[in-house]
Amino acid sequence: MHRIPNSNSQALDNNLVEPEENDQMEIIEAYNPETKVMLERFILMLIAVGLVVGAILSVGVVYILDKTGLTTPPNQQQINLGQ
């Protein structure tokens, strides 16, 4: 089998982006300040909700452990070593 040379090599070379054009394409989009404030409030609200849910769960776990007796220390017995 013979390979046919790529006839599109000239077209590919013409489609390459020049360095000057590449610099113009790197434009950083400016975000709306209202969007930034909204995202900050949303993140703070998520943190607050997480803290509240965590506090409720921890109180519930401690309550359940107290009711089942898993938080009481075990009974200690005096061991007589035969003296």
pLDDT tier, 73 (very low <50, low <70, confident <90, very high otherwise): confident
Domain contains 13: no
Query: What range does the domain containing 38 cover?
Result: 31-70
Q: Is 63 left (phi over 0), alpha (psi -120 to 50) or beta?
A: alpha
Domain contains 23: no
Domain contains 47: yes
3-state secondary structure of 10: helix
Domain contains 40: yes
Number of structural domains (the chain) is 1
pLDDT tier, 6 (very low <50, low <70, confident <90, very high otherwise): low
pTM of full prediction above 0.85: no
Both tokens assigned to 65: 């452990």
Domain contains 9: no
